[in-house]
Structure 1
Amino acid sequence: MKNKLTQLLCIVLTVATLAACKKTIGLEPLPANKITEFKVAVSDGNIFGAIDETDKTITLYLPYYYELDVIEPVIKLSAGAKLSETPAPVAVLDTKKTYTVIAADQSTSSYKLVIKLNQISPLVLTELSTATIATTMAVGAYDVRVQGNFNIADVKKIKAYLVDKADKEYELTPSTALGTTAVSVAMIGGIKTYTYSYLQVPQTLDTGSYKVRVKVQALTAEMKYPVKVVYGRPGINYGPVTVKQGETFKIATGGVVFNDFKEFYITVNGQKTILPIISFTRTEATIRIPDSLPPGTYTPTAAFGTWPLLTLNWSVTVTSK
């Protein structure tokens, strides 16, 4: 009797188990607010971003040799989803770009774009100064150059700065006063060296000691030894003028600034004749022609501080009132 009860219980349990197996277990639906593919077209194909759903990032590795300033990504989404904004080009140095995906059910998901430039590092610069001698740069001078292993010849991707004690950067801007701004490449001491020339010290900069900092896309480096910014021998822009007796005219500098402007004069009948300096700033001066100055064409000379006299290669033509 006991065996029959045991057999009956087993049969009941078996039937119950089989009945339970017939039930369908429901699965959570997949989110419909995802970025499923992120790619950027390059000269030899496409580069795909790595999408991490855990930390919601898209990491894009860009080799430096493509020399991209911006990327124009192609983005695929979950079926029925859309982006919160129309995709637009993204600067390769942008560190704040995000994408928000809106699903058909209005649920959202945001991804942060992380662009990693695969540059050759570290960035190494050629020192301008030494431990004992600081290189001097004149305020406004446009003959500064920086050298290093930039591995890039695009002047738009290289930035050079003078940096003060408060870590404020002052950019050395390209100048065309001495020639076309460009990056040249040469073997120096057996090392492939890039030279970025014709950079100008800001005309508004204070004199003093500054660090030199260079940025090449995502890389940054500083020279070990600082440089010294000083007032140099000023220059005056080429500019022949014609002016009446008793009137004023202006002279300007696009390079080394005016400092300690002492005299501006011409020679009349063998005699030094002062043309009064009415006012001057670092970049401009106002000069007056005396009422009694005889009409004629004269070559002016300027005196600044203790610098040698600056005889100009253009003329001042004086006419009658």
Structure 2
Amino acid sequence: MKNKLTQLLCIILTVATLAACKKTIGLNPLPANKITEFKVAVSDQNLFAAIDETDKTITLYLPYYYELDVIEPVIKLSDGAKLSEAILPVEVSDTKKTYTVIGTDQTTSTYKLIIKQNQEAPLVLTELSTATSTANIAIGGADIALQGNFNVSDIKKIKAYLVDPNNKEYEFLASPSFGAPGVTASMIGTTKTYTYGKLMAPQILEPGACKIRVKVQALTAEMKFPVNVVYGRPGINYGPVTAKQGGTFKILTSTTVFNDFKEFYIMINGQKTLLPIVSFTRTEAIIRIPDTVPPGLYTPTAAFGTWPLLTLNWDVTVTAK
């Protein structure tokens, strides 16, 4: 009797186990609000980003030699999902770009885009000064050239600065005298060196020691030795003028600035005749023509500090009152 009872219990347990095995255990559904692929077309291939679902980031690595300023992504989503905004071009310097995906179940997920520019590091600059000799750069001085292993030919990817003792950056400007800045590459020994040239030091600089800092895409470097920012020999823009006796006219400089402006004069019958300097700033001066100057055509000369005299290649035409 005992054995029969034991057999009955075993049969009941077996039937219950088989019945349990027939039940379907539900799996969590796949998220409906995912970015499944993020890619960017370049000249010879597609670049695929790494998508991290844990921290919700999209990391795209850009080799420097593609020299991209903007990317145009192609994005794939979960079936039926959509983005909360249109897919537009993105600047590679953008550090705040996000994408929000809306799933078919109306749940949302937001991803942050991280663009990392792969460059050859470190960025190395050719020094202008040495431990024993400090280079001078004139305030407003033009045709300045900087060299280094920039590995780019696009000037939009290079930023160069003079940095004062307070760490304030003054970006080098395009030189109005020598045309637009440019980047050229050449072999110096066995090293490929890039020259970023036709630059101008800003006219607002103050004299003193400055560092030179260069930024190429994601890389930054500074020259080890500082340069001296100084007042150079002033220049005066080409600008023939016509003014009446007793009147005034303006002269300008778009490069090296006016400093210690002493005299502005013309020659009348072999005699030096001053045209008084009414006022001047770094970039412009007001000159007056005395009432006694006869009408005529005159070539002026300017004197600044101890610099050699600056005889201009344009004329002042004086007319009668």
TM-score in terms of structure 2 length: 0.97
- Percent of residue pairs identical: 76
Q: Which residue of 2 aligns with 1:121?
A: 121
Range 251-260 or range 148-157, more displaced:
148-157
Question: Quick check: 1:89 aligned with 2:89?
Answer: yes
Which amino acid counterpart does residue 54 of structure 1 have in structure 2? T
| Counterpart-to-counterpart distance in 2, 1:84 and 1:224 | 49
| Counterpart-to-counterpart distance in 2, 1:295 and 1:113 | 70
Q: Which residue of 2 aligns with 1:228?
A: 228
| Counterpart-to-counterpart distance in 2, 1:209 and 1:242 | 41
Which amino acid counterpart does residue 215 of structure 1 have in structure 2? K
Which amino acid counterpart does residue 274 of structure 2 have in structure 1? I
**Matches of residues 126-275 of structure 1 in structure 2 within 5 Å?**
126-275=126-275
- Say if 2:246 and 2:288, in contact at 8 Å, map to a contact too: yes
Q: Which residue of 2 aligns with 1:58?
A: 58
SS where residue 210 of structure 1 aligns? Answer: strand
Q: Which residue of 2 aligns with 1:41?
A: 41
Q: Which residue of 1 aligns with 2:29?
A: 29
| Counterpart-to-counterpart distance in 1, 2:209 and 2:83 | 50
SS where residue 318 of structure 2 aligns? Answer: strand
Which amino acid counterpart does residue 98 of structure 2 have in structure 1? T
SS where residue 254 of structure 2 aligns? Answer: coil
CA-CA distance at 1:290 after TM superposition: 0.9
CA-CA distance at 1:165 after TM superposition: 2.1
Which amino acid counterpart does residue 251 of structure 1 have in structure 2? I
Q: Which residue of 2 aligns with 1:283?
A: 283
CA-CA distance at 1:186 after TM superposition: 1.5
CA-CA distance at 1:189 after TM superposition: 3.1
Question: Quick check: 1:107 aligned with 2:117?
Answer: no
| Counterpart-to-counterpart distance in 2, 1:131 and 1:3 | 104
| Counterpart-to-counterpart distance in 1, 2:9 and 2:173 | 92
- Say if 2:176 and 2:254, in contact at 8 Å, map to a contact too: no
| Counterpart-to-counterpart distance in 2, 1:104 and 1:261 | 75
Segments of 5+ residues of structure 2 without an aligned counterpart are: none
| Counterpart-to-counterpart distance in 1, 2:67 and 2:176 | 24
| Counterpart-to-counterpart distance in 1, 2:19 and 2:190 | 82
- Say if 2:176 and 2:255, in contact at 8 Å, map to a contact too: no
User: How much is the aligned-residue C-alpha RMSD, in angstroms?
Assistant: 1.3
CA-CA distance at 1:174 after TM superposition: 2.3
| Counterpart-to-counterpart distance in 2, 1:291 and 1:82 | 79
CA-CA distance at 1:48 after TM superposition: 1.1
CA-CA distance at 1:176 after TM superposition: 4.4
- Say if 2:174 and 2:180, in contact at 8 Å, map to a contact too: no
Question: How many residues were matched structurally?
Answer: 321
Segments of 5+ residues of structure 1 without an aligned counterpart are: none
Question: Quick check: 1:300 aligned with 2:264?
Answer: no
Q: Deviations over 1:103-158 (max 9, x none)?
A: 23332111111111121111111011111221110111112111001111111111
| Counterpart-to-counterpart distance in 1, 2:45 and 2:191 | 32
| Counterpart-to-counterpart distance in 2, 1:144 and 1:203 | 14
| Counterpart-to-counterpart distance in 2, 1:249 and 1:14 | 112
